[in-house]
Amino acid sequence: MKSKYTITEAKKLLKETDLSEDLLNEFSQDERSGIKKLLEQYYKKRLKQKELIEKFHKKEFLEKPFWDQNLAVAGVDEVGRGPLAGPVVTAAVILPANNTLYEVDDSKKLSIAKRNELYKLICAQALDISVAVGSPQLIDQENIYHATELTMRDSINNLYLKPSHILVDAMTIPVDIPQTKLIKGDAKSLSIGAASIVAKVARDRLMTMYSKIYPEFGFENNDGYGTKQHLAALDEFGRTKIHRLSFAPVKNISKLY
């Protein structure tokens, strides 16, 4: 049996994610190999979308009790604790209960293109977003762990909405708001995952900007981590104003850029 649609028309229709059962039944009885292949692709895509939504609902279980009471809950995460250069960047994100951020995940698991795509979606759907920057000088003065806590505090304090609760990735934020500390929270909580993406994109953009000032270090590619190129440039040109003096091997470099 052959359906009334051409292969081109069927391809266009089967790009939709929610077709009627009558239409799908018509396509399933079509014996053309092109239609069979398109239908197979359609069902694979639909299954993948279903799995994605199921995973998404599992990730919002921590936020849901607050959303059910119409309360704001903030996810907080950091990026840049380990590099030799550049700031630590934190983000706080408050999402609405009706968000459709199905692909949000730990930013480290995502490609650059996917991170940038999700960053735009988060910015479009979030009720509030705040990004804070902890300078290399703050890191040297306080130590990286405490500097991160203080920067997370800034990201919470700079929100327009005061959250009723905070979900944070493996840290304790020095603010007087109840909080849940999660190990690998960016993979477990939707809000923390969104915050990890915002912080990562913000810091990457900062490091790309710094790469224009200090082109020898390759900051646009290494994010300030101690790659071969970075260490060689450190030896040859000396430390810059964005290097962390308390981190080895920077502390052993006396030459200034």
CA distances in angstroms from 122 to 81, 87, 191, listed in the order given: 23, 23, 10
Beta sheet of 88-94, edge-to-edge order: 128-134, 88-94, 73-79, 165-169, 179-182
At 240, which amino acid appears? T
| Spatial separation of the C-alpha atoms in residues 251 and 230, rounded to whole Å | 15
Q: Which residues contact 229 (CB under 8 A, 6 or more apart)?
A: 217, 218, 221, 222
Beta bridge partners of 193: none
CA-CA-CA-CA dihedral for 127, 133, 139, 141, to nearest 10: -100
At 37, which amino acid appears? K
CA distances in angstroms from 20 to 16, 26, 162, listed in the order given: 10, 10, 44
Residue 30, annotated as binding a ligand: no
Residue 77, annotated as binding a ligand: yes
Q: Which residues contact 191 (CB under 8 A, 6 or more apart)?
A: 62, 63, 73, 74, 75, 93, 94, 95, 167
Q: What 3-state DSSP class applies to 157?
A: helix
Q: Pick out the residues of the known binding site for a divalent metal cation.
A: 77-78, 169
Known binding site: residues? 77-78, 169
